[in-house]
């Protein structure tokens, strides 16, 4: 059972570089999310998707982009990396049906440092 898989687990970027964090899930979940976790600040939602072809901004979308071309994949792109984007990034997925919401399943996280 792979669940939610994120790559890479660790990455160091220089200011101004770009990169993509990959996320894939094999549970056929319709909802997918990207969160960032900063020390003492909980998890902040960056972007989310309610299905293939549909994405929307969360609380802190600036500096990021996403796409959802398939149900399984939800990559997060960082353009022009800045030190403020140093964080741990979590991808998550869940199954939603009508008024029923399932729990989020999280990937193991990706630790990104921008120097």
Give me the residues that bind another protein (CB under 8 A), please: 31, 33, 35, 40-45, 48, 50, 56, 58, 88, 90, 92, 94, 96, 99, 101-106, 108-109
From the CB of 89, what's the least distance to another protein, in Å?
Answer: 11
From the CB of 72, what's the least distance to another protein, in Å?
Answer: 20
**2 vs 41, which CB is nearer to another protein?**
41
**19 vs 88, which CB is nearer to another protein?**
88
**32 vs 81, which CB is nearer to another protein?**
32
Residue with tokens 């399943």: 105
Residue closest to 51 by CA, chosen among 35, 76, 33: 33
The residue count of the chain comes to 115
From the CB of 9, what's the least distance to another protein, in Å?
Answer: 10
From the CB of 55, what's the least distance to another protein, in Å?
Answer: 11
State how far the Cα of 31 lies from the Cα of 92, in Å rounded to an integer.
8
**33 vs 114, which CB is nearer to another protein?**
33
State how far the Cα of 31 lies from the Cα of 107, in Å rounded to an integer.
14
Q: Considering Cα of 98, then 45, then 56, then 91, what sign does the dihedral take?
A: negative
């Amino acid at each position: 059972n792979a669940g939610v898989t994120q790559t890479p687990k660790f990455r160091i970027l220089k200011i101004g570089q770009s990169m993509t964090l990959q996320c894939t899930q094999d549970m056929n979940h319709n909802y997918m999310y990207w969160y960032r976790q900063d020390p003492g600040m909980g998890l902040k939602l960056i972007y989310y998707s309610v299905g293939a072809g549909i994405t929307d901004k969360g609380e802190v979308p600036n500096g990021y982009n996403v796409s959802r071309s398939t149900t399984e994949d939800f990559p997060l792109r960082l353009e022009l990396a800045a030190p403020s984007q140093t964080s741990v990034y979590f991808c998550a997925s869940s199954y939603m049906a009508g008024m029923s919401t399932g729990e989020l399943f999280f990937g193991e996280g990706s630790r990104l440092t921008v120097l």
